[in-house]
A and B are shown apart, each in its own frame.
Chain A
Amino acid sequence: MNMNTTETNHHGPGYKLFVIIWATLLALTCVTVYAAQVDLGFLNVLVALSIATVKAALVTFFFMHLKYENMTFKIMVLLAFAILAIFIGFTFFDTAYRAVG
């Protein structure tokens, strides 16, 4: 065990928090598998994607340390996902209004 307290400005949570996040992710996996067995029609896809997004947020904020990064990183990540949303959204502005055939 290394006992010299090297002063790092690095940050990050301890083991315990990560294990809690992991348990939450597993619980959400169970929820999404069970939710899929209830027939909600198109809502099924929305429920599955919502749960996936909660899981993705947990991974990004905790496992990827985004919660502990400075504002620049947070804005960058937000921007990347905003661009992805525009990418997907604008595609549907097109395809959703095409004549079927």
Chain B
Amino acid sequence: MADHPKDYLGQKMGMWLFLFTEIILFGGLFVLYAVTLQRYPDEFHEASKLLDTTMGTVNTVVLITSSLFAALAVTALQKGDEKKAKIFLLLTIALAAVFLVDKYFEWGAKIHHGIYPGSPDIADWEPGKQAFFALYYAMTGLHGIHVVIGMAVLGWIYWLIHVGKCTPQYFVALENGGLYWHLVDLIWIYLFPLYYLIA
């Protein structure tokens, strides 16, 4: 990292451009959701009742709070407090893990009840209800993968701060990692009402 020219704005702009591709990626799935909802409004309504709103709400709170810690980590490093920035990053990662544990129990309970794509138990359900759960697994699954990647990225940035490669003078890595994490939060903000609250 020693003598590379540093293009702060360019590095951040590159991250935003990447985030746009993520928005379009999820956007495609949201379009699919919207069209299917329009076609099967009653089945979606029925299927949504099978999801656990409490667990979904808990996960929303967990993810919003982890997003707060990611934002605070950037502020702490900007203020020159590396130690605090690292603590905030660890809290962000810990809450991401809590999110995944919640998701594990949610998916586990559904699969235990035979509700998963291709399950013989739901083969004679209305197509709309099956479509709801196919989309549920695809979208929360893709989102879950993003959570895992986000944890890895934030862990890597923790290490960068630890070895002095991400500093109060040059912290674009933390800012970009934070941007990625906020995007993960952003997508969940839409997934939550669309799946859990339309019952």
Q: Which residues of A contact B (CB under 8 A)?
A: 1-4, 6, 8, 10, 12-15, 18-19, 21-22, 25-26, 29, 32-33, 36, 42, 44-45, 48-49, 51-52, 55-56, 59-60, 62-65, 69, 72-73, 76-77, 80-81, 83-84, 87-88, 91-92, 95-96
A-B interface contact total, Cβ < 8 Å: 130
Closest to A88 in B: B31
For the complex, is B20 an interface residue (Cβ under 8 Å from A)?
yes
Task: Determine whether the beta carbon of A59 is less than 8 Å from that of B67.
Answer: yes
- In the bound assembly, the distance between CA atoms of A14 and B2 in angstroms comes to 30
Partner of A12, one of B20, B74, B168, B193: B74
- In the bound assembly, the distance between CA atoms of A83 and B197 in angstroms comes to 27
Contact of A22 with B186 at beta-carbon distance under 8 Å, contacts A2-B168, A49-B193, A84-B27 already known: no
Contact of A56 with B186 at beta-carbon distance under 8 Å, contacts A6-B169, A88-B30 already known: yes
For the complex, is B41 an interface residue (Cβ under 8 Å from A)?
yes
B140 contact set on A, CB distance < 8 A: none
Partner of B27, one of A6, A42, A48, A87: A87
Of B53-61, B96-104, B126-134, the one contacting chain A is B53-61
Task: Determine whether the beta carbon of B64 is less than 8 Å from that of A6.
Answer: no
B121 contact set on A, CB distance < 8 A: none
Closest to B65 in A: A22
- The distance from the CB of B185 to the nearest CB of chain A, in whole angstroms, is 6
B70 contact set on A, CB distance < 8 A: 63
